[in-house]
Amino acid sequence: MMLDPKLIKEKPQIIRDMLKARNVDFDLDTLIECDQKRREFIIKTDELRKKKNQVALEISQKKKQGEDASSILSKMKNTSAELAKLEVEQEDIESTYSKLALTIPNLVHESVPIGADEGANKEIKKWGNIPVFDFKINDHIDISENLDLVDLERAAKVAGARFYYLKNDLVRLNQSLISYGLDFLSKKEYSLVQPPYMINRESMEGAVIADDFEEVIYKIEDEDLYMIGTSEHAMAAMRAKEIIEGKDLPLRYAGVSPCFRKEAGAHGRDQKGIFRVHQFDKIEQFIFSRPEDSWKEHERMLAITEEFYQSLEIPYRVMLLSTGDMGKVSAKTYDIEAWMAGQNAYREIVSCSNCLDYQARRLKIRFRDKTNEDTKYLHTLNSTLIATTRILVSIMENFQTNDGHIRIPSVLQNYMGNQKEI
RNA sequence: GCUGAGAUAGCCAAGUGGUACGGCGGCCGUCUCGAAAACGGCUACGCGCAAGCGUGCAGGGGCUCGAAUCCCUUUCUCAGCGCCA
């Protein structure tokens, strides 16, 4: 359901290689066995259903002619009982099969470096000059405290750790980034979307693997609703169960929404400030593409995102993630890491992935060019354009001035009423 | 939230217990110098090398030899009422 089931039957070695490259523990042998049994059950139950249909037809004809049908009624009864028994066994197999099948990771593109963790990531590009300061610089926590731009203590009182109140000109800068980002993508043939911030489980499962739910996603109590961790979730599901006309592809969406994340596995990391938080605003690029165009779209999306950061004058580098650092849903992921002067390091701000037909299979999103052709699964891609809190950090730290203020990047000044400094 | 009416294929839509009627749109073909018209076929998913077969009437459950159809339930849509930024 997530990978092409034909692979399981015909080319299991491809899956085996992927599991090895990703170094994940997965019971492929059980899956293969279930798949085979599943097919046998389909053949057996279909055969019985055929018999049932034939008998039903007989009964119907006899009754129409006023004849007595009681002798074949019992035949029908037996067949139905036999089928019902088989169906119970079949459900068992199907449920084991789909549980496994839904957790198998995506295939990996051949260009992806194989490695255990982020140490194997490959830097493929650097842009911009790292700012040099002739004074002692502060990190974003000190800067925002000095200028009264963030209140972390009261947020902790009201909501807990990893929450924040943005204040004053930082609120305006946050809004400016969103406005600028939306305008930017509008000019690149994206349609703007503001999605639901809560979606049901079925939709969430299309974009997220079940194991990741607990660690990442907030659930609404007593409702079949989950807070989106990114608008990617809501936008992938937007077209679920649809057959899209080939001439409409590619569909490029720019989704803007808050994002909610538990950050359950991140204890102790980035504990201070607004770098790693439970809630932030994000503009996400999401593309439904023809399979043959998806790698081209992937590069295009990366190029657009780079252009965006160049316009903001933020130095960055592009990393090609290794198998150990990449998400299970993605076949290839570029991260963009922005320079954060206060940390004297490049930090992740963008993740740009091609998911091939993995999400499309889970969500049943297909396309076709001609109505008498078979439908095909399309490809989905996603990339951050901007997760605002991290860029706020980068801007505060990189653009800080000698007298303790923050220079506003020139492309944003329009959006700030021509203000040049905070 | 209450009351009522609904949910059938890409769209519209018939079907009150016995093989899902029909129309529109779209695609392919025949015809034509070409097009239009007309006519024929195709236009959800699964299994199978194939011939074929099965499934699918919003989701789940039930009664029945047999369910789109009867019963229960959930979701959603529409109308009216109520509440509300």
> How many residues would you count in chain A?
422
What Å value separates CA A230 and C1' B84? 29
Are residues A80 and A163 part of one domain?
Answer: no
Query: Are residue A231 and residue A325 in the same domain, yes or no?
Result: yes
Per-residue tens of pLDDT for chain A, all 422 residues: 578 888 888 889 999 999 999 999 899 999 999 999 999 999 999 999 999 888 888 888 887 777 777 778 888 888 888 888 888 888 889 888 988 888 899 999 999 999 988 899 999 999 999 999 999 999 999 999 999 999 999 999 999 999 999 999 999 999 999 999 999 999 999 999 999 999 988 888 888 877 777 788 998 888 888 999 999 999 999 999 888 888 888 999 999 999 999 988 777 677 789 999 999 999 999 999 999 999 999 999 999 999 999 999 999 999 999 999 999 999 999 999 999 999 999 999 999 999 999 999 999 999 988 877 888 899 999 999 999 999 999 999 999 999 999 999 999 999 999 999 98
Q: How far is the CA of A371 from the C1' of B34 (A)?
A: 25
**Inside any domain, residue A112:** no
A360 and A333 housed in the same domain: yes
Residue pair A123/A318 in contact by the 8 Å Cβ criterion: yes
CA of A102, C1' of B73: distance in angstroms: 28
Which nucleotide is closest to the Cα of A61 by its C1'? Answer: B18
Round to a whole number and report the distance in Å from the CA of A217 to the C1' of B1: 30
Would you say A281 and A302 are in contact if contact means Cβ atoms under 8 Å apart?
Answer: no
d(CA A412, CA A422): 12
- Specify whether the CB–CB gap between A324 and A24 falls below 8 A: no
Q: What does the pLDDT read at residue A245? A: 86
pLDDT in the model for residue A222: 80
Q: Is residue A225 located within the same domain as residue A144?
A: yes
For this complex, say whether ipTM is above 0.90.
Answer: no
Contacts 24+ apart (CB under 8 A), A146-152: A146/A404, A147/A404, A147/A405, A147/A406, A147/A422, A149/A396, A149/A422, A150/A273, A150/A274, A152/A272, A152/A273, A152/A274
- Domain boundary residue, one of A101, A129, A154: A101
3 state DSSP class of A115? coil
What integer pLDDT is reported at residue A71 of this predicted model? 78
Q: Which nucleotides of B are covered by protein (CB under 7 A)?
A: 10, 18-19, 25-28, 41-48, 53-55, 65-66
Buried-exposed string A110-137: b where 16+ CB fall within 10 A, e elsewhere? eebbebeeeebbeeeeeebeeeeeeeee
| CATH code where residue A76 lies | 1.10.287.40
- CA A372, C1' B27: Å apart? 5
Q: Answer yes or no: do A88 and A159 share one domain.
A: no
Q: Which domain holds residue A354?
A: 118-416
| SS3 of residue A243 by DSSP | strand
Q: Are residues A56 and A129 in the same domain?
A: no
Question: Which among A55, A75, A101 is the end of a domain?
Answer: A101
**N-terminal to C-terminal alpha carbon distance within chain A:** 52
Distance, in Å, from the CA atom of A118 to the CA atom of A34, rounded to the nearest integer, reads 35
Residues whose C-beta lies under 7 Å from strand B: A 5, 9, 39, 42-43, 45-47, 49-50, 52-54, 56-57, 59-60, 63-64, 73, 76-77, 80, 243, 366, 370-375
Under 8 Å between Cβ of A382 and A355: yes
**Same domain, residue pair A198 and A55:** no
A81 and A220, same domain (yes or no):
no
Claim to verify: residue A151 and residue A230 sit in the same structural domain = yes
H or E element, residue A282: strand A279-289
Same domain (yes/no): A38, A162: no
From A101, A134, A153, give the residue that closes a domain.
A101
Query: Can you give the pLDDT at residue A374?
Result: 83
Distance from C-alpha of A217 to C-alpha of A201, rounded to nearest angstrom? 11
Residue A108 located in a structural domain: no
Token pair belonging to A206: 């299309």
Q: Residue A182: helix, strand or coil by DSSP? A: helix
Q: Which residue is nearest to nucleotide B41 (CA to C1')?
A: A372
pLDDT of the residue at A212: 73
pLDDT of residue A1: 56
Tally the domains of chain A: 2
- The reply to whether A362 and A221 lie within a common domain is yes
Q: Are residues A410 and A358 in the same domain?
A: yes
Beta bridge partners of A165: A151
Q: What is the CATH number of the domain that holds A226?
A: 3.30.930.10
Distance in angstroms: CA A105, C1' B14? 46
